[in-house]
């Protein structure tokens, strides 16, 4: 066993062609001062009992023994289940947690809460909230119809031209849910380039496509891709370059959409001149791009970031329609691909056997929220909300239980979230480090990190099954989530059901055996658990990429209809139209955002903030690590700004700046860059929230968390997805002594425990 701290060295897998720099964050995690050493309870909660209140996030903490902490949590669970029932428990607990199939915090908490009596859950993800809901209406479920229907291999061998809406940033290909053993995006893009495939990057940030690909950059105004797509479609149709036969045979609703496109009813053709005024790409460039894409094997890709904004359903829908107008849907290397280039495991061949998965049991509670409606739920109990054709009501939550996520990182409008977090009686958090979510809890139970436990690593899109051996002993008194829930289950009389009599090692064996059986069933050699554990890894067989249901549909739409209401590509959806949502009508439309160029807010906050995924860490995880810290400017998160916008504000490279709008303000370190379209600034997510005065209503985040600025509203009534990607802000130089960054210091009462 390695000593903790300085002796830890993390090396990439020898077969990884393009290892991720994020590995550099891991060594610090073993013993950083931000780690939580002991169970901690907020003083006010401990002394005055469970109750709503503003003290959460500003009180001091008191260290308690594990047995006291577990007694307190068990008693509070009993009180809430007994007094209010399971509809008062929110176990949505969204978050990426860490790699490893058994110690996956989400699986553990959901399994435990299902046994304890059930809980209000959350559905969908912050990553893909709008696409997950719109795609089944128009093409088919995301995984089957849009995620992997065009593989990297096929792009390289078959595509001629790629219209990459939102780009294919390599930083996003560094990470994949569950982990990734081979980073292949750079290599595949190079191979495609060497084959002469033409790439068009449509996005406000030039490095959202690697330079070596020599993509043509179309620096679009953020949030206006639908207007550009309409302008392209208009050119294709009016110049007779659209595939009318495809639209007639494989799609429904073309005529109605064409009326809109050509402006037959509203008098406004969505032609390149109209589009140019909205999206900022010149009309002749739009016309030329449409002509280049026509009559070739063209692929329209749509990054996840595009749909993480107000009306995020529209770019996904219009991307599908543009691919249909080109007649490319279902052809090898052509058509529409969602999120290809947005995560490490999209576009890789699917596995031929299932990966190990912890059984989570059944939830007795039907109530749910779309995941990004967290603050709405806590602030508006009992009130109605719309979701995908349903009218539902927010439950009244008394107890919030979180493991493996960081809402004070991932949620929008953090000042509103602080008000929402004051509402429940109790907030319980399992965390390995003092994130803002841990600081805003009543009971904080210290969790181990991956290095400190044994597990099996696997991801749906990656062929490597990894025996994750323990590298170091747990920090302080930290326990695995499994051990914490076992302790609670014992107190609630549920130990036998929760553990099924297995130790963690026995669980690994049990989970491994399900994959092994599947391998043996298809006559693939499979080592037993001991052999697997000793050898350290096992390569799983994959399926050939055959284009899935969309390719089969293209071959014969009568034999293999799409799983949509009509069995065809839905250019118009009668179902969506019947919902009568003005923010998501029955066919794709340009819907101006509330915060965009020309909106009232733009007069005071003229810069478009892109709050995208960071390049130096996974979301907010290990922000104290070496890779993340190396990119900070005077300890603050870097904000990139175009030199013209900087000069207009007298901002120089390296200055500390203040970003603000009506929702909040944060500091950041200025980095001048011409990789951004003028009028656009970029502050990635993930800097740990660090309020200068936790008692203030809208404190300044001194570190640079963009979610103090973002808007907490759903994409539309259809999907209610996260809209954190875009908001309007202003920026100014921060003169005077900057307040210290204290995000990584333990909160009052926790230092030295």
Q: How far is the CB of 496 from ligand PGD (least distance, A)?
A: 23
Dihedral angle, C-alpha 411, 412, 414, 417, nearest 10 ° = -70
Q: How many CB atoms lie within 10 A of CB 102?
A: 24
Q: Which of 533, 624, 470, 583 is nearest to 35 (CA)?
A: 624
Question: Does residue number 683 form part of the binding site for ligand PGD (CB under 6 A)?
Answer: no
Please compute, for residue 589, the number of CA atoms within 13 A of its CA located in the half-sphere on the CB side: 20
Q: Is 101 a residue that touches ligand PGD (CB under 6 A)?
A: no
**CA proximity to 202, closest of 269, 321, 300:** 300
Which range binds ligand PGD by CB under 6 A, 19-27, 257-265, 400-408, 649-657?
Answer: 400-408
Residue from 430, 516, 632, 663 that binds ligand PGD (CB under 6 A)?
430
The answer to whether 299 and 216 are in contact (CB under 8 A) is no
Sequence-ordered strand ranges (E) for 137-225: 161-165, 198-202, 216-218
Q: Does the footprint of ligand PGD cover residue 435 (CB under 6 A)?
A: yes
Residue 9 exposed, middle or buried by CB count within 10 Å (0-12, 13-18, 19+): exposed
In this chain, which stretch among 223-231, 401-409, 588-596, 668-676 interacts with ligand PGD, using CB under 6 A?
A: 401-409
Q: Kindly state whether residue 627 participates in binding ligand PGD, applying the rule CB under 6 A.
A: no
Active-site residue (options: 45, 81, 94, 274): 94
Closer CB to ligand PGD, 126 or 338, in the complex: 126
Angle at which helices 504-521 and 481-491 cross, to 10°: 110
Using CB under 6 A, count the residues that bind ligand PGD.
36
- DSSP summary character for residue 527: -
DSSP 39-96: -EEEHHHHHH-S---TTTTTS-EEE--HHHHHHHHHHHHHHHHHHH-GGGEE------
d(CA 324, CA 682): 33
Round to whole Å and give the CA distance between 68 and 71.
Answer: 5
Instruction: Check residue 227 for interaction with ligand PGD (CB under 6 A).
Output: no
- For ligand PGD, which stretch binds (CB under 6 A), given 208-216, 254-262, 616-624, 664-672? 616-624
Residue 403: left (phi > 0), alpha (psi -120 to 50), or beta? beta
CB atoms within 10 A of CB 425: 21
CA-to-CA distance for 536 and 749, rounded, in angstroms?
A: 42
Cα distance between residue 462 and residue 459, in whole Å: 5
Taking CB under 6 A as the binding criterion, the range among 345-353, 354-362, 563-571, 704-712 that sits at the site for ligand PGD is 704-712
User: Does 724 contact ligand PGD by CB under 6 A?
Assistant: yes
Q: Could you say whether residue 35 binds ligand PGD (CB under 6 A)?
A: no
Q: Interface with ligand PGD by CB under 6 A: which range of 89-97, 353-361, 419-427, 551-559?
A: 89-97
Applying CB under 6 A, the span of 42-50, 221-229, 239-247, 721-729 interacting with ligand PGD comes to: 721-729
Q: Does 98 bind ligand PGD (CB under 6 A)?
A: yes
Told to check if 433 binds ligand PGD by CB under 6 A, we report yes
Q: CB pairs under 8 A, 24+ apart, for 495-501?
A: 497/115, 498/111, 498/112, 498/115
591: DSSP letter: -
Which of the following is catalytic: 81, 96, 402, 434? 96
Query: Is residue 507 annotated as a catalytic residue, yes or no?
Result: no
Q: How far is the CB of 371 from ligand PGD (least distance, A)?
A: 9
Place of tokens 């965009």: 596
| Contact flag: residue 343 with ligand PGD (CB under 6 A) | no
Span near ligand PGD by CB under 6 A; candidates 406-414, 464-472, 496-504, 588-596 = 406-414
**Does 685 help bind ligand PGD (rule: CB under 6 A)?**
yes
Q: Which is nearer to ligand PGD, 187 or 730 (CB)?
A: 730
Binding mask 439-458 for ligand PGD (x = CB under 6 A): --------x-----------
Among the listed residues 59, 431, 452, 595, the single contact to ligand PGD using CB under 6 A: 431
- Asked whether the beta carbons of 399 and 425 are under 8 A apart, the reply is yes
**Which stretches does DSSP call E strand in 397-460?**
399-403, 426-431, 443-446, 455-459
Residue 663 within binding range of ligand PGD, rule CB under 6 A: no
In terms of CB distance, is 181 or 682 closer to ligand PGD? 682
> Is residue 270 close enough to count as binding ligand PGD by CB under 6 A?
no
Residue nearer to ligand PGD on the CB measure, 132 or 388:
132
Residue of 96, 336, 532, 533 interacting with ligand PGD (CB under 6 A): 96
Q: Tell whether residue 428 is a contact of ligand PGD (CB under 6 A).
A: no
Interface with ligand PGD (CB under 6 A), residue from 95, 203, 334, 704: 95
Q: How far is the CB of 540 from ligand PGD (least distance, A)?
A: 23
> What does the per-residue mask of binding to ligand PGD show for 284-313, with x meaning CB under 6 A?
------------------------x-----
Q: Which stretch binds ligand PGD (CB under 6 A): 328-336, 379-387, 624-632, 719-727?
A: 719-727
CB atoms within 10 A of CB 201: 25
Write the CA distances from 44 to 55, 547, 577, 750, integer angstroms.
Answer: 7, 57, 51, 15
Signed CA dihedral, 23, 28, 34, 39: sign only: positive
Cβ at position 433, least distance to ligand PGD in Å: 6
Q: Fill in the per-residue mask, 480 to 499: x = in contact with ligand PGD (CB under 6 A), - = not in contact.
A: -x------------------
Known catalytic membership, residue 96: yes
Nearer to ligand PGD, 97 or 672 (CB): 97
398 binds ligand PGD (CB under 6 A): no
Q: Are 724 and 685 in contact (CB under 8 A)?
A: yes
CB nearer to ligand PGD: give 618 or 633: 618
- The DSSP letter of residue 143 is I
Q: With respect to ligand PGD, which residue has the nearer C-beta, 161 or 611? A: 611
**CA atoms of 580 and 577, how far apart (whole Å):** 5
Residue 181 or 613 with smaller CB distance to ligand PGD: 613
Please identify the residue of the shown chain whose CB is closest to the bound ligand PGD. 724
What gap in Å lies between CA 384 and CA 572, rounded to an integer?
27
Residues that bind ligand PGD (CB under 6 A): 95-98, 103, 105, 126-127, 308, 403-406, 409-410, 430-433, 435, 447, 481, 611-613, 618-621, 685, 706-707, 710, 722, 724-725
Q: What residues act catalytically?
A: 94, 96
């Amino acid at each position: 066993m390695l000593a903790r701290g300085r002796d830890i060295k993390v090396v990439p897998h020898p077969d990884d062609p393009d290892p991720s720099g994020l590995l550099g964050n891991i060594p610090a995690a073993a013993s950083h001062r931000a780690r939580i050493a002991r169970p901690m309870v907020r003083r006010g909660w401990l002394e005055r009992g469970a109750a709503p209140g503003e003290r959460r996030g500003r009180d001091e903490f008191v260290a308690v023994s594990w047995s006291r902490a577990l007694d307190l949590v068990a008693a509070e669970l009993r009180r809430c289940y007994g007094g209010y029932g399971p509809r008062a428990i929110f176990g949505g607990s969204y978050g990426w947690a860490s790699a490893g199939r058994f110690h996956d915090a989400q699986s553990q908490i959901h399994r435990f809460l299902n046994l304890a009596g059930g809980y209000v859950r959350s559905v969908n993800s912050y990553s893909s909230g709008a696409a997950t809901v719109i795609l089944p209406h128009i093409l088919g479920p995301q995984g089957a119809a849009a995620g992997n229907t065009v593989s990297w291999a096929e792009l390289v061998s078959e595509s001629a031209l790629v219209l990459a809406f939102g780009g294919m940033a390599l930083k996003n290909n560094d990470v994949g849910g569950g982990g990734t053993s081979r980073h292949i995006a750079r290599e595949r893009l190079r191979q495609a380039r060497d084959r002469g495939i033409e790439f068009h990057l449509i996005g406000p940030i030039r490095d959202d496509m690697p330079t070596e690909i020599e993509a043509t950059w179309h620096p679009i105004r953020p949030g206006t891709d639908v207007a550009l797509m309409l302008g392209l479609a208009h050119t294709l149709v009016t110049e007779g370059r659209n595939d009318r036969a495809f639209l007639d045979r494989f799609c429904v609703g073309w005529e109605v959409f064409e009326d809109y496109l050509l402006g037959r009813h509203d008098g406004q053709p969505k032609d390149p001149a109209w589009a140019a005024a909205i999206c900022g790409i010149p009309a002749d460039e739009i016309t030329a791009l449409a002509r280049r894409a026509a009559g070739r094997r063209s692929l329209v890709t749509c990054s996840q970031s595009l749909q993480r904004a107000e009306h995020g359903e529209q770019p996904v829908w219009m991307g599908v329609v543009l691919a249909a107008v080109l007649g490319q849907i279902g052809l090898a290397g052509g058509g529409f691909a969602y999120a290809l280039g947005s995560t490490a495991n999209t576009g890789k061949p699917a596995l031929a056997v299932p990966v190990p998965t912890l059984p989570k049991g059944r939830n007795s509670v039907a109530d749910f929220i779309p995941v990004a409606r967290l603050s709405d739920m806590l602030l508006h109990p009992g009130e109605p909300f719309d979701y995908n054709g349903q009218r539902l009501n927010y439950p009244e939550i008394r107890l919030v239980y979180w493991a493996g996520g960081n809402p004070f990182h991932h949620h929008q409008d953090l000042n509103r979230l602080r008000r929402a977090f004051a509402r429940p009686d109790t907030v319980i958090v399992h965390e390995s480090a003092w994130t803002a979510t841990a600081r805003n809890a009543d009971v904080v139970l210290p969790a181990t990190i991956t290095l400190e436990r044994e597990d099996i690593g696997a991801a749906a899109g990656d062929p490597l099954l990894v025996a994750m051996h323990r590298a170091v002993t747990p920090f302080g008194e930290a326990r695995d989530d499994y051990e914490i829930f076992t302790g609670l289950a014992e107190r609630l009389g549920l130990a036998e059901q929760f553990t099924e009599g297995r130790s963690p090692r026995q669980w690994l064996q049990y989970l491994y055996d399900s994959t092994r059986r599947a391998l043996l069933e298809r006559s693939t050699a499979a080592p037993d658990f001991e052999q697997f554990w000793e050898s350290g890894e096992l390569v799983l067989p994959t399926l050939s990429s055959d284009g899935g249901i969309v390719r089969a549909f293209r071959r014969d739409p009568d034999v293999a209809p799409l799983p949509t209401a009509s069995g065809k590509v839905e250019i118009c959806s009668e179902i969506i139209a019947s919902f009568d949502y003005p923010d998501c009508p029955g066919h794709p439309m340009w819907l101006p955002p509330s915060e965009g160029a020309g909106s009232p807010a733009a007069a005071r906050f003229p810069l478009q903030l892109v709050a995208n995924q960071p390049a130096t860490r996974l979301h907010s995880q290990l922000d104290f690590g070496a890779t993340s810290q190396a990119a900070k400017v005077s300890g603050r998160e870097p904000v990139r700004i175009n030199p013209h916008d900087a000069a207009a504000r007298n901002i120089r490279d390296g200055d500390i700046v203040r970003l603000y709008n009506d929702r909040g303000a944060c500091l950041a370190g200025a980095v001048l860059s011409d990789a951004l379209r003028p009028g656009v600034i970029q502050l990635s997510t993930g800097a740990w929230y660090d309020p200068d005065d936790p008692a203030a209503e809208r404190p300044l985040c001194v570190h640079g968390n963009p979610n103090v600025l973002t808007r907490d509203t759903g994409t539309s009534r259809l999907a209610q997805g996260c809209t954190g990607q875009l908001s309007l802000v202003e920026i100014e130089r921060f003169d005077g002594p900057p307040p210290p960054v204290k995000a990584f210091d333990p909160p009052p009462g926790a230092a030295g425990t």
